[in-house]
Amino acid sequence: MKNTIKRYVKLRFQTKINHDDQTDSYEFTTRGQLFHKGSQDYLRFEEDLSDDHSVQTTMKWDGRELMLIRQGSILMRQGFIVGEETLGRYVTPDASWETKAMTEKLSVQWPSGKNRGRIKLVYKFMLQGQETGTHEVRLTLEEDTTK
């Protein structure tokens, strides 16, 4: 994706968390914007957590690191680099925790023409030193031509 024009996308966000013998899943669909600035690509969308709480999510991709930035009722900043442990932070109105991610897989493909784009991310996550399991995140992106 080389142009600086904002493109609107429809996206499907799916996450699975495997911890011990349990699997939790979470999924939603929304619309977002995709744009290029400097040497990085950005995907921005809003996630509704409840009727009165939402989070603005930005994913920033430089070709090596995917940076996840969440702002709203939850603040979070976490980088993901394949084969590396990265530090981050997760903040709620009540507390702030250090996070660590060990990224196992990361693939980013932006939509072009009639092709869908995909982001796939698999990582082990720790919150304040406690392992929360293996997280598998999949985003499917499709250009939204209705806007």
pLDDT band at 147 (very low <50, low <70, confident <90, very high): low
* 142, two tokens: 């499709």
Beta bridge partners of 137: 15, 121
Under DSSP, is residue 68 helix (H, G, I), strand (E, B) or coil? Answer: strand
Per-residue pLDDT of 20-40, as tens digits, reads 899 999 999 999 999 999 889
What is the count of structural domains for the chain?
1
Average pLDDT over residues 120-127: 97
pLDDT band at 73 (very low <50, low <70, confident <90, very high): confident
pLDDT band at 112 (very low <50, low <70, confident <90, very high): confident
Q: How far is the C-alpha of 25 from the C-alpha of 71, rounded, in Å?
A: 22
73 in a domain, yes or no? yes
User: Is residue 142 within 8 Å of residue 34, measured between CB atoms?
Assistant: no
Share of the chain above pLDDT 90, in %: 74
Q: Which residue has the tokens 């598998």?
A: 136
CA distances 23 to 7, 20, 26, 133, 135, Å, are 34, 8, 10, 9, 10
Print the domain residue range for 111. 7-143
* Residue 111: Cβ within 10 Å count: 20
CATH code, 95: 2.40.128.20
89 in a domain, yes or no? yes
1 in a domain, yes or no? no
User: Is residue 119 within 8 Å of residue 107, measured between CB atoms?
Assistant: yes
Q: What are φ and ψ of residue 60, in 5° steps?
A: -115, 125
Which of these ranges, 15-24, 108-117, 128-137, has the smallest mean pLDDT?
108-117
